[in-house]
Amino acid sequence: MIHVALLSRWHVHADDYAREIRENEHLSVQVVWDEDMERGRKWAEELGVPFEPDLQSVLANPSIDAIVVNTPTNLHKEIILAAANNKKHIFTEKVLAFSVKDCEEIFDTVEAQGVKLMVSLPRLTREYYLYAKKVVDKGWLGQLTMIRCRLAHNGAVPSKGETQGWLPAQFFDKEQCGGGSLIDLGAHPIYLTNRLAGPVQALHARLQQTKKLGVDDSAVVLVEYESGALGVIETSFLSNGSPFQLELYGTEGTLLIEDERIRLKSSQLGDGEWIHPEEIDSSLPMPLEQWAAFIKDGTVPTITKEDVIHLTLINEAAALSDQESRRIEIKEIVKDRENTRVKDSSILG
């Protein structure tokens, strides 16, 4: 049995992970820590486990094998590095960190300590993504020329008689979150399009503060891929009834996914008429289940280090693009990172 400590109920998915752990025969919640002690004590009582107010005591406890991180994102690096150095396996809510440099430092430490790290990128396990990947890999679209992905909800729209939407107030705290709709909800379109369209060459982003909440509540990123394809990533906290949409266009076909409804038109299939696939591959195990298998028997997860780093890379470039109101080439971010590494190595002598 893998003994798990839950670190913070700050994130809206914390309860989901607690439930998934309880449903997994290989995992067991042993203790709760929270930077908000009142919230943590309440959660521990609900789960029927002890609350520990001292984080270091949790990390140093030899009976704890692994941690699940649901803290504010600005605490991720500090907590994950400390956990890795205490030989704890780590599952964390996205994003891993605010910069590629910090992500790489985390991975270096995790690998040096021999612990297993998983970041929750759940839509890479879903059947519609797997079908889209199959369509691209088989060449049914010909050359991919355009990709669009939209994920939005109404979390910042107050209900009648309310002063704020259903998203908790901390999701609009830039210091804790690092941003708003793009870094949070937009993460899913980013990592999906990264996988399907390949390396990004440049982008231009607009992070809109329609409601003046302190962070972006709607965002659009125009992406240029090394392949020559274009992409559009859309997200919002201000959209009521907006379906999930994933669209791929190519020289020989079109794939349209809306929520979980899929249709494909290809000059290579079905006389070029619309196809509505009835049988597609089942979803893969969810990230937390993959993490448990990774710890237990070394089963390599389908979510990779590259997925995690490239997610932060696009976020970092998009934030810079919005800040400076210009097109950003990805090599600018990579060059800055390499210069920092050279500087750091010079300081270390």
Phi, psi of 322 (to 5 degrees): -65, -40
Identify the three-state secondary structure at position 262.
Answer: strand
Nearest to 294 by CA among 86, 101, 65: 65
116 in Cβ contact with 221 (< 8 Å):
no
In b/e form, how buried is each residue of 205-238, taking b as 16+ CB within 10 angstroms?
bebbeebebebbbbbbbbbbbeeebbbbbbbbbb
Instruction: For residue 206, give the amino acid letter.
Output: R
Say whether pLDDT at 263 is over 90: yes
CA distances from 149 to 24, 46, 140, 146, 248 (A): 32, 38, 19, 10, 9
Question: Which residue ranges make up each domain of the chain?
Answer: 2-119, 123-287
Q: Provide the pLDDT for residue 338.
A: 60
Token digits for 176? 């804790």
Sign of the CA dihedral with 47 first, then 48, 49, and 51 last = positive
* pLDDT (tens digit per residue) in 44-72: 999 999 999 999 999 999 999 999 999 99
Nearest to 58 by CA among 39, 44, 48, 72: 44
107 in Cβ contact with 100 (< 8 Å):
no
* pLDDT (tens digit per residue) in 264-319: 999 999 888 999 998 898 999 999 999 999 999 999 999 999 999 999 999 999 99
What angle is formed at CA 79 by the lines to CA 75 and CA 84, rounded to 5 degrees? 150
Which CATH superfamily hosts domain 2-119? NAD(P)-binding Rossmann-like Domain (3.40.50.720)
Query: What is the CATH architecture of 123-287?
Result: 2-Layer Sandwich (3.30)
Q: Provide the pLDDT for residue 340.
A: 56
In b/e form, how buried is each residue of 34-66, taking b as 16+ CB within 10 angstroms?
bbeeebbeebbeebebebbeebeebbebeebbb
Q: pLDDT category, 346, cuts 50, 70, 90?
A: very low
Instruction: For residue 349, give the amino acid letter.
Output: G
Q: E strands within 153-281?
A: 200-208, 218-225, 230-236, 245-250, 253-258, 261-266
Q: Provide the pLDDT for residue 349.
A: 47
Q: pLDDT category, 77, cuts 50, 70, 90?
A: very high
Q: Provide the pLDDT for residue 294.
A: 97
Q: pLDDT category, 132, cuts 50, 70, 90?
A: very high
- How many angstroms separate the CA atoms of 239 and 50, rounded? 40
* pLDDT (tens digit per residue) in 78-120: 999 999 999 999 999 999 999 999 999 999 999 999 999 999 9
User: What are the residue ranges of helices labelled H in 64-121?
Assistant: 76-85, 100-113
Question: Residue 2, Cα to own-chain centre: how many angstroms?
Answer: 24
Say whether pLDDT at 257 is over 90: yes
Beta strand 200-208 with 144-152 is: unpaired
